[in-house]
Amino acid sequence: MRMEITNVSEYEKIAKQKLPKMIYDYFASGAEDQWTLRENRSAFSRILFRPRILVDVSNIDMTTTILGFKISMPIMIAPTAMQKMAHPEGELATARAASAANTIMVYKDRNVVRQLVGRAEKAGFKAIVLTVDTPRLGRREADIKNRFTLPPSLTLKNFEELNIEKMDMTNDSGLASYVGSQVDRSLSWKDVKWLQTITSLPIILKGVMTAEDTRLAVQAGVAGIVVSNHGARQLDYVPATITCLEEVVKAAQGKVPVFLDGGIRRGTDIFKALALGASGVFIGRPVVFALAADGEAGVRKVLQMLSDELELTMALSGCTSIEQITRNHVVTESDSNRNLSKM
């Protein structure tokens, strides 16, 4: 008898059973000691609610506007590479389940970037997400142990017919070798400006975690910021993204929208992020695991479960619209520390 899925985390257990160990580990693991991987989740548990009562919540509106586009809920799909390792239909299944996000990395060969940006524009993408936290690939020890490389049936489709190196299957992790050969370690703010000269699409920076970089991003004219630690796959012992969120939101001063990526598994997590100033959240691993477990139907169910949980959290907190979710609806560790210092 098929098990009834009641929350998004249950898809990971199914995916672990279905996927080859090398592929599951690639999607699931983090960098080095994986402290940040665990912290991305556990930090949410230290944020508590301050619900309001006796509010008419018979009608709840979860619609919101992102970069001028109205969407049904503040839940979006994070840029996640190589989804065909999870399911034969890969990104196509995910795109059918929701409007897929698009990501791009700036490669040594700027001509490659020009071609990728051109393809994105022609395909009708509405924004470019520039991942900025990978000047080098984090040390993912599971990939090293598994000598990770792409399954022979799969290719990096975006790079077909481009003159780039193939993934090395002999050296530690093939992915580390490939990225090491292609990513420009000299990437800097001037390259953000350069990217703006070759596209009219809004550029969102993914991988911002500090107030200092937020201010620089605003000065650079980006359209939005994603607070992200790359799913805890880059630098271990950075804080959970939910812990960094409020610092970034305050530094942005409302000039650009701030989004959260990392650790989202519940509608309660989404509510907490919105209360701390996020304009929306991105989900990554839950989508990939649901895709592995049940294809497009799995991704649809993940989005529906998170939507249902967010709606319930809003109702039980006394909020009938996204705009009504405020900082007063949550209490964090920093609030507790401030209260103690006043005593």
Residue positions in the annotated binding site for FMN? Answer: 79-81, 131, 206, 228, 261-265, 284-285
Task: Name 162's Cβ contacts closer than 8 Å, sequence gap at least 6.
Answer: 109, 112, 115
Q: What angle do CA 173, 176, 180 make, to 5 degrees?
A: 150
CA dist 217 and 245 (Å) reads 15
At residue 228, what are phi and psi to the nearest 5 degrees? Answer: -150, 145
Could you read off the pLDDT tens digit of each residue along the chain, which spans 343 residues?
A: 466 899 999 999 999 999 999 899 989 999 999 999 999 999 999 999 999 999 999 999 999 998 888 889 999 998 887 788 888 677 888 888 865 433 333 555 667 788 888 888 888 888 888 888 876 777 887 778 777 777 766 666 665 555 444 544 445 555 555 555 556 677 889 999 999 999 999 999 999 999 999 999 999 999 999 999 999 898 999 999 999 999 999 999 999 999 999 999 999 999 999 999 999 999 999 999 999 999 999 999 999 999 999 999 999 999 999 999 999 999 998 887 766 556 5
- Binding site as annotated, residues: 26, 79-81, 131, 140, 206, 228, 230, 233, 261-265, 284-285
230 is catalytic: yes
Catalytic residue among 41, 84, 87, 230: 230
Residue 321's pLDDT is 97
Of 318, 289, 319, the residue nearest 301 (C-alpha): 289
User: What's the CA gap between 144 and 21, in Å, rounded?
Assistant: 13
Structure confidence at residue 101 (pLDDT): 35
pLDDT of residue 141: 76
pLDDT of residue 103: 33
Q: What share of the chain is helix, strand, coil (3-state, %, to 5)?
A: 45, 10, 40
Quote the pLDDT of residue 104: 39
Contact 270, 306 (CB under 8 A): yes
* Burial class of 17 by CB neighbour count within 10 A (0 to 12, 13 to 18, 19+): exposed
pTM given for the model: 0.88
Three-state DSSP state, 61: strand
260 close to 278: Cβ distance less than 8 angstroms:
yes
